[in-house]
Amino acid sequence: MGSKQIRLDDDVYAEIADGKRDDETFSDAIDRMVSDWRLSEWGTGRSQSEIEAHREQLDEMDRIDAEETAELREQLGIDDG
């Protein structure tokens, strides 16, 4: 695969650098940031079992987040009510 040299304004470069993951090249980061992927298209082509498994993973992540938040609030002495 070839490569091209491009000029970026400082603010655009900074935005890409801020969004770049440690394991990505700048090219990878730009590709991810300009991807045509849309949340509304996520379910297209997915089986019902894949969608349900993903929903279960999200629910588990929400449960863990809620537990960790409650523990942190308790450690900091923040009252829920």
Spatial contact of 19 and 29, defined as CB atoms under 8 Å apart: yes
How confident is the model at residue 13, as a pLDDT? 95
The answer, as to whether pTM is greater than 0.95, is no
If you ran DSSP here, which 8-state letter would residue 43 be given?
Answer: T
Indicate the domain borders of the chain: 10-35+48-76
If you ran DSSP here, which 8-state letter would residue 42 be given?
Answer: T
Positive or negative torsion for Cα 54, 59, 62, 64: negative
**Per-residue tens of pLDDT for the chain, all 81 residues:** 788 999 999 999 999 999 999 999 999 999 888 876 666 666 677 788 888 888 899 999 999 999 999 999 999 999 876
How confident is the model at residue 36, as a pLDDT? 66
